[in-house]
Amino acid sequence: MSEGIAADFALLRGEPPLKYLAKANRMAAEGRDIVRFEIGQPNFDTPDNVKEAAKKALDEGFTHYVPTLGIPELIEAIRDDVEKTRGFRPDEDQVMVLPGAKPGIFFGLMTTVAMGDEVIYQNPFYFQYDSLIGYMGAKKVQISLYEKDEFRMTPQQVQDNISDKTGLILLNTPQNPTGGVLTKKDIKAIAEMAREHDTYILSDEIYSKMLYEGEKHYSPSYLDQCKERTIIVDGFSKAYSMTGWRLGYMVAPKEIIHKTDLLFADVASCTASFVQKGGVEALRNGQSFVDNIMEHFTRRRKAIVEGLNEVPGMSCIYPKGAFYVFPNIKETGMKSEELALHLLDEAGVCLLPGTAFGSQGEGYLRISYARSVEEIRKGIDRMKTAMEDIL
């Protein structure tokens, strides 16, 4: 009996960093107090008005299938938000609601990349990209990110790697895992290169509302308004603290939306109806929540960066967006995995080795500072003690 196509696909996938999480969970179950710096989600509750909107929808019986593309009310709210944040208003048939940003990335790749096409993306990367590009049988063209460039993928690097074999450029700004942000100049140059080489751009903008120090978000969609080659993926998980709701969207050329509509109808019929009502409320009346959590994140960012720069063997630059830092640990002489495990065992601090996000993460750790300032300080104090003991 055949094992099915998934068995072959599984071989193409790297291993996610589950062992750290599993170990931390085991230690916590045994009563050890663990500081959790590995979790990539805000530790705030979803705003009450968003919960109320979804509850109201449930009470009113809004519990059946809705259009595969998404409910018109949410599509309208997304169009308004894109107009406000990216400076153009997508047409109705350029928007699709999906259960999270991840499906946007999946369908974005599925509808544009053929087997053997080259896909340009950053290393370190968000784990899903590397897996999916592997599943798709596309060729991985990874661009190394360097601390000296503040972990930006530079236009020169893209220029050196783009060719007529390039099917798609995958951008992620602000970036997971480094917090790096592409400048307006970077975005302009990369968007123009994509046009010259007639290649798609998939732009994961899930952290676009999470920027610091007056930094602005620039989207490569400015050039074609998502009419020809640019696909924006965004969602509600991070800025509105809605990871469990599973809600996101894509804005894309209408042929891509049409293909995704057909595919998604086969996969799941639609995104949960009442969840979408919560999304409408988040986009229409959620800005004060985003402003409020960004004030918290600004304080946390300062606490984590200042703290890490006091830990022996570590140094850390300020991230420009998202809620991750990528401290340099090269001075310790230890491998990232070795140090991550050491800090878990000795300090009870769970974080991820930079290598969980690709080879270029060697010599770095990834910390999510979606924790209170008190927890951040506790984690830093413990890391200081653990590092003083070995250095």
CB-facing half-sphere around the CA of 378: CA atoms within 13 A: 13
Cα distances (Å, whole numbers) of residue 116 to 202, 238, 387? 17, 33, 45
Nearer to ligand PLP, 77 or 383 (CB): 77
Stretch that binds ligand PLP, among 98-106, 114-122, 184-192, 342-350 (CB under 6 A): 98-106
Q: In what order do the strands lie in the sheet with 365-368?
A: 324-325, 365-368, 352-353
**How many Å apart are CA 250 and CA 234, to the nearest integer?**
6
Q: Which of 43, 131, 161, 243 binds ligand PLP (CB under 6 A)?
A: 243
Give the tokens for residue 31.
């009563």
- Between the two ends of the chain, the Cα-to-Cα distance in Å is 56
Stretch that binds ligand PLP, among 8-16, 88-96, 194-202, 235-243 (CB under 6 A): 235-243
- 3-state secondary structure string, 5-37? HHHHHHHHCCCCCHHHHHHHHHHHHCCCCCEEC
Q: How far is the CB of 368 from ligand PLP (least distance, A)?
A: 9
Q: How far is the CB of 108 from ligand PLP (least distance, A)?
A: 11
The three-state secondary structure class of 175 is coil
String of contacts with ligand PLP for each residue 21-40, x by CB under 6 A: -------------------x
Q: Does 69 bind ligand PLP (CB under 6 A)?
A: no
Q: What residues numbered 152-191 form the site for ligand PLP, per CB under 6 A?
A: 172, 176
Listed residue (176, 169, 141) closest to 325, CA to CA: 176
Q: Does 237 bind ligand PLP (CB under 6 A)?
A: yes
Q: How far is the CB of 92 from ligand PLP (least distance, A)?
A: 22
Q: How far is the CB of 109 from ligand PLP (least distance, A)?
A: 13
Q: How far is the CB of 243 from ligand PLP (least distance, A)?
A: 5
Binding site for ligand PLP (CB under 6 A): 40, 100-102, 126, 172, 176, 204, 206, 235, 237, 243, 248
